[in-house]
Amino acid sequence: MKYELNACKVEDALSILVGKWKPIILLHLLNNGTQRFNQLRRSMPGITQKMLTKQLRELEAEDIIERVVYPEVPPRVEYSITEYGKSLQPILEAMHDWGVRHTLHKQKLQTQHG
Amino acid sequence: MKYELNACKVEDALSILVGKWKPIILLHLLNNGTQRFNQLRRSMPGITQKMLTKQLRELEAEDIIERVVYPEVPPRVEYSITEYGKSLQPILEAMHDWGVRHTLHKQKLQTQHG
DNA sequence: CAGTATCCAGGGCGATACTG
DNA sequence: CAGTATCGCCCTGGATACTG
């Protein structure tokens, strides 16, 4: 290992990403750029308005995403990743890469045991 | 971005790491090598036997750690990271690096707002 | 030493209804 | 359109006691 990893720091990152819909929200914003509330909602089948609002607010509180309200009728609210939020991308990529290999590993285990 | 990240894969990785004590356990095993049950326990102030057992069993079920029982009296059980478990290290490092920067970022925000 | 078994509190998350 | 408000389930995790 490059150096000793500190558990507290790891958990700081983990606490940001933990939440049933947070990774999905982040990936949608990273992949598709700025999105309106209902645009996000439609792209996440199964999420309720309450949960989407809650998860967005939590990410906003951590300065991971930005929320911009346009004073129009009907209301328009746009969400986007902040520069700081983009710094999470290496973590998401590392997880994605691992997830891809994890699928293969599980298949291998099943072949061995099954 | 290098390519589109898939939410399911990211969550596969996340689901392994989520658990109040799992990152701590993994870092202990990565930093210190094979450890006995009470050795881990002593290095994690606040954890109960039940929780340590539970988290260890879950990591074992995912083939992230290995559990070896020595049929002795008194019993000896040793835990270690598997080769597969070591593949999580890039994720933990990415989280650690981010966590370090997150601390600085929070301090910066507080200076601005406070 | 290395666990189980049991009970219990808090919070995450969902379903549903209502609103500026 | 983009939210709040309320209710309730379940699951994680903690406290405590017991055991091969």
DSSP, collapsed to helix, strand or coil, labels residue B110 as: helix
Give A-chain residues touching B87 at CB under 8 angstroms.
98, 101
Question: Cis peptide leading into B75, omega within 30 of 0?
Answer: no
Nearest to A47 by CA among A28, A71, A66: A28
Interchain contact, A99 vs B11, CB within 8 Å = yes
Give A-chain residues touching B17 at CB under 8 angstroms.
14
- Extended beta strands in A1-114, E state: 35-36, 65-70, 76-81
Total domains in chain A come to 1
Residue B4 lies in a domain: no
Q: Provide the positions of strand D that have an atom within 7 A of a protein CB.
A: 1-6, 12-17, 20
Give A12-67 pLDDT, tens digit per residue. 999 999 999 999 999 999 999 999 999 999 999 999 999 999 999 999 999 999 99
Q: What is the pLDDT of residue A83?
A: 97
pLDDT-derived band at A113 (thresholds 50, 70, 90) equals low
Residue B20 lies in a domain: yes
Residue A3 lies in a domain: no
Residue A107 lies in a domain: yes
Q: What is the pLDDT of residue A114?
A: 52
Give B44-98 pLDDT, tens digit per residue. 999 999 999 999 999 999 999 999 999 999 999 999 999 999 999 999 999 999 9
Residue B47 lies in a domain: yes
**Length A86 CA → D15 C1' (Å):** 41
Residue A96 lies in a domain: yes
Indicate the Cα dihedral angle B99, B30, B9, A42, nearest 10°.
Answer: -30
Residue A2 lies in a domain: no
Residue B91 lies in a domain: yes
The CATH number of whichever domain residue A95 belongs to comes to 1.10.10.10
Which of B18, B93, B101 lies at the smallest CB-CB distance from A2? B93
Interchain contact, A7 vs B27, CB within 8 Å = yes
Tokens of A34: 């700025």
Q: Provide the positions of strand C that have an atom within 7 A of a protein CB.
A: 1-6, 12-17, 20
Nearest nucleotide, CA A74 to C1':
D1
Which range of residues forms the domain containing residue B33?
9-113
Q: What is the pLDDT of residue B2?
A: 61
